[in-house]
Structure 1
Amino acid sequence: MVARWFDAPGNRMVTGAPRERWGCPQIWYDMGTAPEEARYWRPVAVVFDCDGLLVDTEPCWTVAETELFARRGLSFGPEQKAMLIGRTIPAACADLTVLFDEPGRAPALEAELLGLVSDVLASSAQAMPGAHDVVAAAAARVPVAVASNSPRSLLDAALRRAGLVFPVSLCADDVIHAKPAPDMYLAACARLGVPARRCVAFEDSMTGLRSALAAGVPCVGVPSLPHVELPADLVLASLRDPFLIDWIRSW
């Protein structure tokens, strides 16, 4: 296994001893045994993303997005998915008006996509493997929150469907600027009463990662799309990684 460290969010890779940013080592982890340096840092709070990280909603979104494209005679594949994943519905639909050549129809597209996603999510969304154990282990040791780019109705439906409960919950409706802006993480840290640099974020997408890093929150990346590299502080293949539970239980 090769461990690699980044000297700034998404910037050039450096080798040798881990650099310090916000008081924790920056570690790129690709299966195997996590470097010992990862065990040294102890966050005092956790903020989890939801879609694609805790709840397997991305297949629900994909079904809805595929139908949205099909209604217009268009195919939906990895390129289109990468364009939409992790974004708010308004931001995604603003770009879709251009792609679909439907100027001025962003609100109508938002309503159409929200309706499609709601129907699929209510019947199909499931908790991601390891999600319950990780959330329970973290909540037993530090304050936890969930912060999602979904609107309130979809976030609550996804958490309810997955059987996950959070004392602090933020969605796209709660901030002026959603991810990738730092607002949501700054708001979550404020609600938890902890400095951003002492918190840790869990994210599955580049959009969420950029938000966390912009807020100064160290981030654990668990990519939801195959072959996607996230320049997070610690990157794991799954929430079921045995290192993760051991690390959390050491806090």
Structure 2
Amino acid sequence: MTAQRILSWTPAAIVFDCDGTLMDTECHWQDARLRALREFGFTPAPGFTERAKGLHYTECGVLMAEEAGHPELGADLTERLLGHFGALVADRPLTMPGARRLVEQAARFAPLAVASNCPKEVVESSLGTAGLLDRFDHVVVPDDDNGIRPKPHPDVYLTAARLCGTDPADTLAVEDSHCGIEAAERAGMRILGVGPWPAERTMALVDLWVRSLDEPELRGWAGDRVPAQIPGNRPTMKP
């Protein structure tokens, strides 16, 4: 792990994952998965939560159906999953510790984007309710019409960097799941991982791992990126 590749560096843009990174929605996904499975009389196998974390919701529905031994129910389980998740998020939107402060600090010196496997309306609704949506220049999600595949494909990250006008190598990805970290690594970005200490295979892909976006070293790093105004009011770094 090369922490200094993050802590001594100013990215040209920052792309955040949403669920589990900015918004505390992983508990909602867990509840939604369990509710959908129980409605069909199924119980998830051990380790299912980790296998499902970070997957696009359609892929998660397929996984649920396969693990239940009824692959023909993939579409039905996907529909139930998304319905339950949307209701839970609307009822209790929560930001992750430190997310609001980091986003507000980062927005002073770099364009920001979100790259998520969730439907765009869900991402925008949850960020809007949390008062964070207007901090982001772009929200990128999988899109069949435009050939944007879900994580772990790199498409959402590559698209976010392009929209921000930056090279992926000059862009920081902030992620909490192996699926998302793999996508960012395949896009060629530097990676900040966040959450409980991960498996070795995940740790091998990140430059810096923090337990929370509220950790002092991360707050200090973001606070030290002092912006200077340039034409067009886009913040940039002073030499």
TM-score, normalized by length of structure 1? 0.81
- The match for 2:23 is 55
1:77 deviates by: 7.3
Of residues 150, 166, 175 in structure 2, which corresponds to 1:194? 166
Supply the distance in 2 between the matched residues of 1:71 and 1:228 (Cα, whole angstroms). Answer: 31
CA 1:241–1:127 in structure 2 vs 1: closer, same or farther (change >3 Å)?
same
Once the two structures are superposed, the pairs formed by residues 75-86 of structure 1 within 5 Å of their partners are 75-76=43-44, 79-86=47-54
In the TM superposition, what whole-angstrom CA distance separates every residue of 1:180-238 from its partner, at most 9, and x where no partner exists? 11111110000000000111010000011000000000000002xx4523321110110
Does the CA contact (< 8 Å) of 2:154 and 2:184 recur in 1?
yes
C-alpha separation between the residues in 2 aligned to 1:48 and 1:37? 17
Structure 1 contact 125–158 (Cα < 8 Å) conserved: yes
Q: How many pairs were matched up?
A: 217
Q: Verify the 8 A CA contact 2:120 2:139 in the aligned structure 1.
A: no
Contact 1:60 1:125 in 2 (8 A): no
TM-score by length of 2: 0.85
Q: What percent of counterpart residues are identical? A: 33
How many angstroms apart in 2 are the aligned matches of 1:76 and 1:135?
35
Partner residue, 1:213: 185
Cα displacement (A) at 1:59: 1.1
Name the structure 2 match of 1:238. 212
The structure carrying a bigger helix percent of its residues is 2
Q: Distance in 2 between matches of 1:61 and 1:250?
A: 35
On the 8 A contact 2:141/2:148 being kept in 1, the answer is: no
CA distance in 1, matches of 2:78, 2:14: 31
Structure 1 residue 63: Cα displacement? 1.2
Unaligned 5+ runs, structure 1: 6-25, 28-35
- Is the Cα–Cα contact under 8 Å of residues 200 and 218 in structure 1 kept in the other structure? yes
Greater shift after overlay, 238-247 or 91-100? 91-100
Mapped pair 1:163 → 2:137:
no
Matched, 1:113 2:81: yes
Structure 2: gaps (5+ residues): 226-239
Match for residue 180 of structure 1 among 140, 144, 152: 152
**Is the alpha carbon distance of 1:132 and 1:77 closer, same or farther for their aligned partners in structure 2, counting shifts above 3 Å?**
farther
Return the offset for 1:172: 2.3
Task: Return the alpha-carbon distance in structure 1 between the equivalents of residues 158 and 87 of structure 2.
Answer: 32
